[in-house]
Amino acid sequence: MNKRFDQIIVGGGVIGCSIAYQLAKRGYQVLVVEANQIGSEASSAAAGMLGAQAEFTEDSPLFRLAQESRALFQNLSEELQAEAGIDIQYIHKGMLKLAYDQQQYQQLELMAMFQQAMANPAYLLSAEEARKKEPGLSKDVIAALFLPDDGQVSARHITKAFSLAAIHRGAVLHEQERVNNLLVERKTVRGVQTAQAVYYADQVIITTGAFGDELLAPHYTTRPVKGECLALELEQPLFQSTISMAGCYLVPKHGRKVIVGATSIPGQTNKRVSAAGIHHLLTHAQQMMPQLSAAKLDCYWAGVRPATDDGNPYLGQVPGVSGLYTAKGHYRNGILLSPITGHYMADIIENKPVDPLYEENFKLDRQVSHKLEKAGEWR
Ligand code: FAD
Ligand code: GLY
């Protein structure tokens, strides 16, 4: 068995697999070591929204990164179909954010103004216009903001597709193998140790999401924010756009499935789904689309989002250990940010110049200018 690689990636979520694919495509010998199965944590819990506009209310480096990443999805879906034989189920039907009172309407107005100032399409709709677009909407909706360019994918499928595309390009994948330690000599990484073996590489990238923080110094760790979701099955498709209100979203998938998400519970890493969580999701879902009360409850699950103190991911070299990198802390937008993260990290690892705005704001030893106080602050 080969034990020496150019790069070892610790963690096979959407972020690790995207980086593995880009590095393998550039001709490197890559090993991905995954403690469970590919995409078994947050990357299979996600609803798959590409909310590059819907999740942002002001300009920021993360907003810019999200815009760049969203723009990659059309080509990426064709590329991954060719490389991995997987349809990532890219749907480009936009998002509708709903208002139920004047205060929410004013928030939508501000968001529309911001998006238009950024030259993004964003349309404020009256209740009548919104119901013309999606006739099943509740009569209680007073207005909506339509963001036509915010699409969605299947989180599970894109993660699998990145991993198979990486394998197609020569990467090696070990599942059910946990990295217990990093091998570090004289402040330089040499490889990783698992219960089964030792593997060597001059570059190691930690992509363990909300887990595996013991492999990094305490000040570069993430904070877990659990999210519960459920899926409904309809007899007939009821709507096409992703629809959201404060505290809940509905993502219509291929077939007749709708994902209803998601709660935000800071500090929890368990995957227990509470009756209160299900109650919250079903109540809000019916407030948006009353006919959902007749849908079949298909299944429910929880996942853990990896948050950082300022809401920005950690992307870059780990200070103090040569050859060690991380891409972690993508919080609510890891699926959206996965394509750009793959390109960006591959550039950093190849020592290519990257956008200084991103470098300054996503490096590990950045100045944290503001704290992400509440779990749902960037919703
Ligand atoms: P993960 O997917 O958690 O992967 C990390 C992997 O590392 C895991 O597979 C784990 O087993 C492995 N690992 C950990 N420790 C070790 C170790 N020591 N050795 C080996 N392997 C290890 N984002 C969006 O863009 N759009 C959405 O609509 C969206 N919806 C969401 C809904 C919910 C309910 C949740 C929970 C998240 C949602 N997200 C969404 C966020 C997104 O899921 C995450 O940001 C993203 O999946 C993080 O990916 P990751 O690869 O960093 O982490
Ligand atoms: N971005 C959706 C969520 O994290 O629930």
* DSSP per residue, 268-329: -------HHHHHHHHHHHHHH-GGGGGSEEEEEEEEEEEE-TTSPPEEEEPTTSBTEEEEE-
Residue 128: what are its φ and ψ, rounded to 5°?
Answer: -65, -45
Q: What is the pLDDT of residue 374?
A: 44
Q: What is the pLDDT of residue 376?
A: 42
Q: What is the pLDDT of residue 370?
A: 58
Nearest CA to ligand 1 atom 48: 334
Nearest CA to ligand 2 atom 4: 332
**Cis ω before 262 (30° cut-off from 0):** yes
The ranges of the chain annotated as CATH 3.30.9.10 are 223-307
Cα torsion at 305, 310, 311, 317 (round to 10°)? -80
Residue 347: what are its φ and ψ, rounded to 5°?
Answer: -65, -45
If one residue of 31, 176, 183, 333 were mutated to test the ligand 1 pocket, choosing by the most ligand atoms within 8 A of its CB, it would be 333
Question: For ligand 1, what atom is nearest to the CA of residue 304?
Answer: 36
Q: Closest Cα partner for 247 from 112, 150, 104, 124?
A: 104
| Amino acid sitting at position 248 | C
Residue 249 · residue 262 · CB < 8 Å: yes
Q: What is the pLDDT of residue 341?
A: 98
Distance, in Å, from the CA atom of 48 to the CA atom of 157, rounded to the nearest integer, reads 10
Q: How far is the CA of 339 from the centre of ligand 2 (A)?
A: 17
Question: For ligand 2, what atom is nearest to the CA of residue 51?
Answer: 1
Q: Closest Cα partner for 170 from 314, 269, 22?
A: 22
Q: Is the CB of 330 under 6 A from ligand 2?
A: no
Q: How far is the CA of 254 from the centre of ligand 2 (A)?
A: 19
pTM > 0.75: yes
Would you say domain 7-70+156-222+310-367 falls under CATH 3.30.420.40? no
The ranges of the chain annotated as CATH 3.50.50.60 are 7-70+156-222+310-367
CATH class of 223-307: alpha beta
Q: What is the pLDDT of residue 371?
A: 57
Return per-residue pLDDT of the chain as tens, 379 residues: 779 999 999 999 999 999 999 999 999 999 999 999 999 999 999 999 999 999 899 999 999 999 999 999 999 999 999 999 999 999 999 999 999 999 999 999 999 999 999 999 999 999 999 999 999 999 999 999 999 999 999 999 999 999 999 999 999 999 999 999 999 999 999 999 999 999 999 999 999 999 998 898 777 889 999 999 999 999 999 999 999 999 999 999 988 999 999 999 999 999 999 999 999 999 999 999 999 999 999 999 999 999 999 999 999 999 999 999 999 999 999 999 999 999 999 999 999 999 999 999 999 999 876 555 543 433 3
Cβ-based neighbours of 79, under 8 Å, separated by 6 or more: 165
Two tokens, residue 335 = 């699926």
Residue 171 · residue 178 · CB < 8 Å: no
Cβ of 358: how many Cβ atoms within 10 Å?
21
